[in-house]
Chains A and B, each alone.
Chain A
Amino acid sequence: MRRVLFILLLTAWPALLHAQQAGGVAGEGDHTMGGRFLRLFDLNDTGVSNMRRALLGAVFLGVSCGLLGSFIVVRRMALFGDTLSHAVLPGIMFGFLATGIVLVGAGGVISADDMVRSPLESFGAFWKNSGCSFEFRVEELTKNPVLIFVGATIAGLLGGAVVTFIRRATRLKEDVALGLVLAVFYAVGVVLLTRVQGLGSSEVTGLSGFMFGQAALLTDGDLKLMGAITVFAVGTVAIFYKELLLTSFDNSYAEAAGFPVRAIHYSLILLLAFSVVVALQAVGVVLVSAMLITPAATAYMLTDRMHRMLWLSMGFGIFAGVSGAFMSFFFDAPTGPFMVLGATLVFVVAFLFSPRHGVVTRWLRQYSRAAQVQRENTLKAVYHVLEARDFEGEGVSLRELAERRSETEEDASRLSAELARHHLATLHEDGNQVHLTPEGWQRACEIVRNHRLWELYLTNEAKIAPDHVHDDAEKIEHVLGEEVVRALERTLDHARIDPHGRPIPGLADLQAGLAPEGGPDHILGFGKRL
């Protein structure tokens, strides 16, 4: 299986060599919003074929950024991704400038473009002609995807190396090193860019797409390169999945187990540089890091498994890319920012509504838990009223309930209605009398038991003063699970009296209220006095 993948990767190489230059214009035709929508269906519209290329590019970038971004987020290298994406700018510029280098000799002129496309012939020509020299010609400047890719990758790797060097050779810390490389490399790129803008080459405007992203400028050659890189990245991750997983989770363990952690780390940086290049034209230098971080962070919030995180991250990346391409088409604006906003939107939704940890989900859960706590406190109050009169009579009047909880009768009425709604109690005599159902009785006993057991535990085992334990127990009584209660009962030797001398309900008492005689409305009561 691995060999098949490897061969697939090798076949990507010819694609690199046959990069073509096809022109891409943002599109003639109707530029109003409605008009633009209708154009989507016109197969001959050049603006729309740009759009289709943009969509394909978005898919590629979603896959590669989502994939590599996951590893970045998990290894806490998010800001390294940001540094890398800014550091490639000088590389892009060098790749661009390299196309201006021509070989001039007796046999004619060989441009850098030619050298890339047919290296063997160029080499042969160079060999034959002894009197040739290199020259730089502005008019030859053009956007060659391969050279730009090579330049960007070299710059990215160089940037990574410089960060490591600064960390090792000086006392400056990691964040300073990252910021320095980010800004200085970027500045070098800007110097080159603004210099070249002054040279008057017509191709320079094509470079503006690299800043904020213009997916509509993607050519077929660009797409082939992006596709090849994406396939390579996916293949490499698939082949080395377990190594990447292990070193991301526990680097020192991996090293101790004999894995080449340094090589893996640098390979990851290399792949990262590749995915930056893939995303570059669509999203732009400044915002590429968002496409690496945001979809992956969203996936990180939603799942506990790495492989699911990878799939989710790629999916979110594709969604962001595609939606961004559409939006930029409608607003006639750069694609990068829209893709980022798309990714952020997905993040916000997941952040708020994620099933387990979403902010809104948790708030709702807390709200319902608070309601549950209130019901349980009401049950407890009913129990206390009953206990105070030795469990004679089943009904508790609203007034007694209100007094017990130091509230108004209206509140008591509302609370008992709540209980009734949850089948924990039934109301009699126009709602003035509260009778616990068997469920209600059981829950009330559990709460009181939890409270008193906990108080006993704190005073006996934790040696906390008796007057301190009540507040604590008020909180804890609602959260104790059955297992912990069993453990408490065992530790306390199944004690029956709490620190204040009151009886602790046991299992038998809980069930006593469920006896079939007398029907569900009758509580047999906790009549066993000690």
Chain B
Amino acid sequence: MSENIEDALPLEIHDLTVAYHKRPVLWGIDLEVPKGKLIGVIGPNGAGKSTLIKSTMGLLPWSSGWVKVFGKPVKDNLSRIGYVPQRESVDWDFPVSVMDVVLMGRYGRLGLMKRPGREDRDIARECLEKVQMLPYASRQISNLSGGQQQRVFLARALAQESDLYFMDEPFAGVDAATEAAIVTLLQELKEKGKTLIIVHHDLPTARNYFDMLLLLNMRVIAFGPTESVFKVDLLQNTYGGRLTILSEVAEEVRKKT
């Protein structure tokens, strides 16, 4: 455990178990994430990848374990986390413009009842610039393509000016140009010392994009530098069905409690 807050790890998870409708979805997760890395989270569907992110941020309740962000409990340090959710999580018919969405990233810093000011707007514009969406600032969000929507979400996360970023499948369903733009952006953030944890769905590209990989299937299969983790046997463990017993027991737990 780190004594000095400055040296505190961006993310520490200890023995985290999360249940969904009484059925365990994540089992005894242990994780220590070093600073300034681009980390990909890989695993099959239903492996709990989104659950891991959401429960880490306190959006889902956990049955046991604890989570610390930069040495402090998550709830006390939310301002240091930036979040890019899946695109489906939002109603794109909502009557807001691109600029409005990016400004939402600043709300965490404003107090209750205060309005975004000039400085906030300037920062929002900068972030839009970085994702090349500034010309669309006043456009309503339903008139955007998938890739553009993703970029707006990214701009919002940038506007949060956090040190630890969680992103849930940011590359899903985007065009090649957007994908390249996102990768460049992520590299820039990393260079600035930010830590990025990204749920990713595509194995081949995972190898190229990330410094470290977390192989997840209800529990941590492996975590480490990409080259040492991206191995056939580990991947088989992640995606294969050897641990059906775990799911059966999870079902028993659900039925009997």
Residues of A bordering B, CB below 8 Å:
171, 366, 369, 457-458, 461-465, 468-469, 471-472, 475-476, 478-481, 484, 487-488, 491
Given contacts A462-B28, A475-B253, 17 further A-B contacts (CB under 8 A): A366-B257, A458-B28, A461-B242, A461-B243, A464-B28, A464-B219, A465-B28, A465-B30, A468-B30, A469-B28, A471-B64, A472-B17, A479-B249, A479-B256, A480-B249, A481-B252, A484-B248
Tell yes or no: B93 within 8 A of A by CB: yes
| Chain B 9-43: CB-based contact to A (< 8 A → 1; otherwise 0) | 00000010100000000011010000000000000
Contacts of B256 in A (CB 8 A): 369, 478-479
* Residue of A457, A469, A479 touching B253 (CB-CB under 8 A): A479
Q: Is the CB of A480 within 8 A of B252?
A: yes
Q: Is the CB of A468 within 8 A of B242?
A: no
Instruction: Enumerate the 7 nearest inter-chain pairs by beta-carbon distance, A residue then B residue, closest first.
Output: A479-B256, A464-B28, A479-B252, A468-B15, A468-B28, A171-B93, A462-B219
Q: Is the CB of A462 within 8 A of B15?
A: no
Q: How far is the CB of B40 from chain A (nearest CB, A)?
A: 19
Q: Is the CB of B28 within 8 A of A476?
A: no
Q: Is the CB of B249 within 8 A of A484?
A: yes
Contacts of A469 in B (CB 8 A): 28
What is the size category of the interface that chain B forms with chain A? 20 to 34
Question: What's the count of A-B pairs with C-beta under 8 Å?
Answer: 53
Residues of B bordering A, CB below 8 Å:
15, 17, 27-28, 30, 64, 93, 219-221, 242-243, 245-246, 248-249, 252-253, 255-257
Give the residue name and chain of the B residue nearest to A366 (CB): B257
Q: Is the interface of A mostly helix, strand, loop or mixed?
A: helix
Contacts of A480 in B (CB 8 A): 249, 252
Q: How far is the CA of A369 from the CA of B253 in the complex (A)?
A: 13
8 A–B pairs (Cβ distance < 8 Å), ordered by A:
A458-B28, A461-B243, A463-B220, A469-B28, A472-B27, A475-B253, A484-B245, A484-B249
Q: Is the CB of A463 within 8 A of B17?
A: no
Contacts of A171 in B (CB 8 A): 93
* Residue of B15, B64, B93, B221 touching A463 (CB-CB under 8 A): B221
Contacts of B30 in A (CB 8 A): 464-465, 468
Q: How far is the CA of A171 from the CA of B243 in the complex (A)?
A: 45
* Residue of A369, A464, A471, A476 touching B249 (CB-CB under 8 A): A476
Q: How far is the CA of A468 from the CA of B243 in the complex (A)?
A: 18
Give the residue name and chain of the A residue nearest to B95 (CB): A171
Contacts of B17 in A (CB 8 A): 472
Q: How far is the CB of A439 from chain B (nearest CB, A)?
A: 21
Q: How far is the CB of A482 from chain B (nearest CB, A)?
A: 11
Q: Most chain-A CB neighbours within 10 Å: which of B221, B242, B246, B256?
A: B256
Q: Is the CB of B28 within 8 A of A484?
A: no
Q: Most chain-A CB neighbours within 10 Å: which of B27, B64, B242, B249?
A: B249
Q: How far is the CA of A469 from the CA of B17 in the complex (A)?
A: 12
* Residue of A366, A464, A488 touching B245 (CB-CB under 8 A): A488
Q: How far is the CB of B95 from chain A (nearest CB, A)?
A: 10
Q: How far is the CB of B66 from chain A (nearest CB, A)?
A: 12
Q: How far is the CB of A474 from chain B (nearest CB, A)?
A: 11
Give the residue name and chain of the A residue nearest to B17 (CB): A472
Q: How far is the CA of A478 from the CA of B252 in the complex (A)?
A: 10
Q: Is the CB of A484 within 8 A of B220?
A: no
Contacts of B93 in A (CB 8 A): 171
Contacts of A472 in B (CB 8 A): 17, 27-28
Q: How far is the CB of B24 from chain A (nearest CB, A)?
A: 9
* Residue of B27, B242, B252, B255 touching A464 (CB-CB under 8 A): B27
Give the residue name and chain of the B residue nearest to A461 (CB): B243
Q: How far is the CB of B29 from chain A (nearest CB, A)?
A: 9
Q: Most chain-A CB neighbours within 10 Å: which of B245, B255, B257?
A: B245
* Residue of B27, B245, B255 touching A487 (CB-CB under 8 A): B245
Q: How far is the CA of A293 from the CA of B28 in the complex (A)?
A: 43
Q: How far is the CA of A464 from the CA of B246 in the complex (A)?
A: 13
Q: How far is the CA of A176 from the CA of B15 in the complex (A)?
A: 45
Contacts of B257 in A (CB 8 A): 366, 369, 479
Contacts of A488 in B (CB 8 A): 245
Contacts of B252 in A (CB 8 A): 479-481, 484
Q: How far is the CB of A473 from chain B (nearest CB, A)?
A: 11
Known: A171-B93, A468-B15. A462 touches B249 (CB 8 A): no
Contacts of A369 in B (CB 8 A): 256-257
Q: How far is the CA of A524 from the CA of B197 in the complex (A)?
A: 57
Give the residue name and chain of the A residue nearest to B93 (CB): A171
Contacts of A366 in B (CB 8 A): 257
Q: How far is the CA of A516 from the CA of B246 in the complex (A)?
A: 38
Q: Is the CB of B245 within 8 A of A457?
A: yes
Give the residue name and chain of the A residue nearest to B237 (CB): A463
Q: How far is the CB of B230 from chain A (nearest CB, A)?
A: 17
Q: How far is the CB of A528 from chain B (nearest CB, A)?
A: 28
Give the residue name and chain of the A residue nearest to B142 (CB): A171
Q: Is the CB of A491 within 8 A of B253?
A: no
Contacts of A468 in B (CB 8 A): 15, 28, 30
Q: Is the CB of A462 within 8 A of B64?
A: no
Q: How far is the CA of A478 from the CA of B255 in the complex (A)?
A: 12
Q: How far is the CB of B47 from chain A (nearest CB, A)?
A: 13
Q: How far is the CB of B38 from chain A (nearest CB, A)?
A: 24
Contacts of B249 in A (CB 8 A): 476, 479-480, 484
Known: A468-B28, A472-B28. A462 touches B246 (CB 8 A): yes
Give the residue name and chain of the B residue nearest to A476 (CB): B249
Q: How far is the CB of A274 from chain B (nearest CB, A)?
A: 36
Q: How far is the CA of A369 from the CA of B255 in the complex (A)?
A: 12
Q: How far is the CA of A462 from the CA of B252 in the complex (A)?
A: 18
Known: A458-B28, A463-B219, A464-B27. A476 touches B246 (CB 8 A): no
Give the residue name and chain of the B residue nearest to A467 (CB): B15
Contacts of B28 in A (CB 8 A): 458, 462, 464-465, 468-469, 472
Give the residue name and chain of the B residue nearest to A490 (CB): B245
Contacts of A487 in B (CB 8 A): 245, 248
Give the residue name and chain of the A residue nearest to B15 (CB): A468
Q: How far is the CA of A209 from the CA of B252 in the complex (A)?
A: 54
Q: How far is the CA of A457 from the CA of B28 in the complex (A)?
A: 13
Give the residue name and chain of the A residue nearest to B256 (CB): A479
Q: How far is the CA of A488 from the CA of B93 in the complex (A)?
A: 50
Contacts of A471 in B (CB 8 A): 15, 64
Contacts of B243 in A (CB 8 A): 461-462
Q: How far is the CA of A491 from the CA of B242 in the complex (A)?
A: 10
Give the residue name and chain of the A residue nearest to B65 (CB): A468
Contacts of A461 in B (CB 8 A): 242-243, 245
Q: How far is the CA of A47 from the CA of B15 in the complex (A)?
A: 72
Q: How far is the CA of A75 from the CA of B30 in the complex (A)?
A: 43
